Amino acid sequence: MTTTVSWPYAHILSARERLYDHLVRRVEADGAIRDRCASRILESALLLSLLRKERAGPDTQEALTGFLGRARPAGFLDAAAAAAVTGRPVASAEVRAHLDGFRHFTGARKQLLLETLLAVLGALPFDGRTDPGRVPDEEQAVWTDVTLRAVRILHAAHRDEESPGLDTDRVRMAASLSSFDAGKVWQGNALAHLIALHALHTYQPGGALLRDGLCVLIRVQNADRGIPFIAGQEVFVTALAGTVLAGAGDRRDVVPRMAAYVADRQLADGGWGYDETTTQSDVDDTSRCARLLRLAGPNTYEHRLGRADNYLRRMADAAGGWPTYVRGHAPEPDMTAGAVIALAPDWRRHSGILDQAVDFLLDVQGGDGTWQRSWTLSESSVIVYVVEALGRTTAHVSPTARTRIAAATAKAVRRLEQTQNPDGGWGQRNGDTSDALSTAQAVPVIVRHGTATTAGRALAHLLDQQEPEGGFTAPPDQVGPRPLPFDFPVLTGVHALAALNTAVEAHPANGRPQSAAV
C-alpha cells in the first residue's frame, strides 16, 4: 500500500539537507569515508594481557588499564573480561551459564571461541568442556580459520601436550600472519590478530612476528586508549553511504568519487571485503558495492558489475539463499536480501536463483513477522532489508509468490506497528528504549507500507534525534564476532538519510506518491 503522509515536507527536506552535508564532510579526497571503530573491552583486555605476558609496553599497559577502568561494559561478557584482567572477582559459574544460553547457528564455534578468550583472560578455567575437537574442520573465512588454529594451539599449550595436528596449526597460522602486509592489522581484524598472537606466545614468546604484531595493534589504539574490534570498515561504509547520498540527489557530486574508490577495491574473485586491506570477500560487502556501482554508472562499471554478479551466482546456495563467506554454509536472510537487491536489475539472467531466493526469504520469516538477526542487533535492520528485496521482485515472480510477498510484508509491518514505542521510535528489540538507528531502519517500511499515523510518529521521533551539526547518534547495531556489538558511529547517520530519502520520495508534495526504492 502507499501511505498518505501528513508530516511537514519542508522540515524533512531541511533535515535531509543538513544530514547530507554532514555526511559529505566525511568523504575524503579519494572518495572514501574512514570512520573509526569504537574501542571495545574484549580487545583492550586481550592486548593488556598479552603485553603483560611479554613484559612489554608499560605505558600502553597503563593506558589500557585506565580505559578498562572507565569503560562501561556492553554486556555480561564485557564485564567478565574487564574484571578478570584488572584483578577483580569473576563469577565463573555465571559466565558459564551465560555462554551455555547462547543460541545461534554458529553456536558451537562461537561458544568455543568466547570460552577460550575468557580462559586466556582468567575469567574461566581451561577445562574439558571447552574442546576444540567439537568444532568440525571445514572451509571457513580466513579469520575464522586462523582463530580456530589459534584456539587449538592455546588448548594444547594449556594441556602441555603435542596433539596430532599441532605442528600444522602452528606453521599455517604463522604463515598466514607473515604473508600479510607488514605494518597492518592482520586482515584488518584486530581481534583475530590478538588471538593469533596469544597462541604465538605459547611457542615463540618474544619472536619477531609477535613483537611486530604488538606494535601494529598499539598503533590502532583510539583516543580513549582502547582497542577496536577492526581497524576499519571503509569499503562497506563508503558503499552504503554512497548509495544513500545518491538517493538524496548528490548536489555536491561526491558519489562518482565514492563509486570509483569502491570499484578500485574489488578483489580478484569479483567480490569485495569490508576494508582496504582484507583479502576475504563476502556477500554483504559485494552486494552493497555492486548496488552503488549500478547507481553511479552501470555502463562505466559494466565489467566490474559482471564480475560481481558472477561472484554472487557462485555463492548462491543450491536450495536458495546466500551465506556470508563460504558457499555451502547456512544461508542467511540479510545476506540473501542484499544479493537479491544487487541481482534483481538483471532478472532475466538470474531468474532461477532469484526465484529460489524469494522462496527462501518467505519460508524463513518468523511467525511474529521478523527474520533472523544475524550480523545486527535490531529487528528493524533485517526487516527493512528483506522487505525492500521482496518489493524489488514483485514484477517478476508468479502470482502465488506475489500473494505470499504481500502477506509477508503485511506481517512485518504489523510487527513494527505493534512494537513501536509510545515516543514513536523503536528499540533494537521489543521493549527496548528507542534509538535513532533502530527507528531509522523501521521508517522506510512504515512510510511505504504502514499507516500515516504510525509513519508520522516515527518521523517526528527521528527528526527530534537530529543533532545540531546534522548527524545522529545511537548504540551500536552491528555484531562481530556474533553476538558481540561493535560501533562505527557514522552508520547511524547513513541509515537516517535512507529513512529521510524514503519520506521525501513518498510525500505527495514531491509529486511521486508511489515511492521508488534506492
Q: Is the same domain home to 250 and 289?
A: yes
Strand residues in 27-125 grouped as ranges (E): 39-40
User: Which pLDDT score, from 0 to 100, does residue 518 have?
Assistant: 31
Residue 366's CB is within 10 A of a number of other CB atoms, namely 13
pLDDT score recorded for residue 125: 87
Q: What is the pLDDT of residue 2?
A: 45
Which residues does the chain have with pLDDT short of 70?
Answer: 1-7, 101-107, 128-131, 133-136, 511-518
Q: Do 50 and 157 share a domain, yes or no? A: yes
CATH of the domain at 374: 1.50.10.20
Give the residue from 182, 207, 228 where a domain finishes. 228
d(CA 431, CA 85): 33
Residue 83 falls inside a structural domain: yes
Nine-digit cell at 322?
A: 546466500
Q: How many domains does the chain have?
A: 2
Tell me: do 419 and 457 sit in the same domain.
yes
Q: In terms of DSSP bridges, do strands 478-479 and 227-228 run parallel, antiparallel, or are they unpaired?
A: unpaired
Determine, yes or no, domain membership for 1. Answer: no
Nearest to 229 by CA among 435, 47, 432: 47
Q: Is residue 517 part of a domain?
A: no
In this structure, the answer to whether residues 186 and 165 fall within a common structural domain is: yes
Beta partners for residue 290, in sequence order: none
Is residue 4 included in any domain, yes or no?
no
Confirm whether 516 is domain-assigned. no
Give yes or no: 284 in active site. yes
* Residues 48 and 20 reside in one and the same domain: no
Residues 255 and 315 in one domain: yes
Q: Give long-range contacts, CB 8 A cutoff, 24+ apart: 461-469.
A: 461/423, 461/424, 461/425, 461/434, 462/425, 462/436, 462/496, 462/499, 462/500, 463/11, 463/12, 463/15, 465/425, 465/436, 465/439, 465/496, 466/15, 466/18, 466/19, 466/496, 469/18, 469/22
Instruction: Output the pLDDT for position 512.
Output: 47
**What cell numbers appear for 381 in the block?**
535492520
Residue 46: exposed, middle, or buried by beta-carbon count in 10 A (0-12, 13-18, 19+)? buried
* End-of-domain residue from the set 179, 196, 228: 228
Three-class SS of residue 230? strand
Q: How much is the pLDDT for 104?
A: 55
pLDDT computed for residue 509 by the predictor: 76
User: Are residues 217 and 284 both part of a single domain?
Assistant: no
In a domain, 363, yes or no: yes
Give me the pLDDT at residue 517, please: 34
Give bridge partners of residue 486 from the DSSP assignment: 478
User: Which pLDDT belongs to residue 76?
Assistant: 84
Nearest to 364 by CA among 346, 390, 328, 342: 390
Strands 485-486, 478-479: pairing kind: antiparallel
Domain that holds residue 113: 42-228
Q: Which residues fall within 8 angstroms of residue 190, CB to CB, at 6 or more apart?
A: 43, 217, 220, 227, 228, 229, 230, 231
Q: Based on the fold, state whether residues 215 and 243 are members of the same structural domain.
A: no
pLDDT digits over 68-99, tens only?
999 999 888 899 999 999 999 888 788 877 77
2 in any annotated domain: no
- The H or E element that residue 47 is part of is helix 41-54
Instruction: Please report which residue ranges of 122-253 form alpha helices under DSSP H.
Output: 142-159, 166-179, 190-201, 208-219, 234-247
- Residue 146 CB-density burial (10 A; 0-12 exposed, 13-18 middle, 19+ buried): buried
Same domain, 383 and 426: yes
**From the candidates 250, 284, 435, 477, which is the catalytic residue?**
284
Helix (H, G, I), strand (E, B) or coil at 439: helix
pLDDT digits (tens, 9 = 90+) for 418-453: 999 999 999 999 999 999 999 999 999 999 999 999
Do 224 and 263 lie in a common domain? no
Q: Is residue 442 part of a domain?
A: yes
Q: Are residues 208 and 240 in the same domain?
A: no
Residue 354 C-alpha cell reads as 532469484
Do both 19 and 129 map to the same domain? no
How far apart are alpha carbons 380 and 482 in whole angstroms? 17
Which of 212, 228, 244 is the C-terminal boundary of a domain? 228
Determine the pLDDT at residue 160: 82
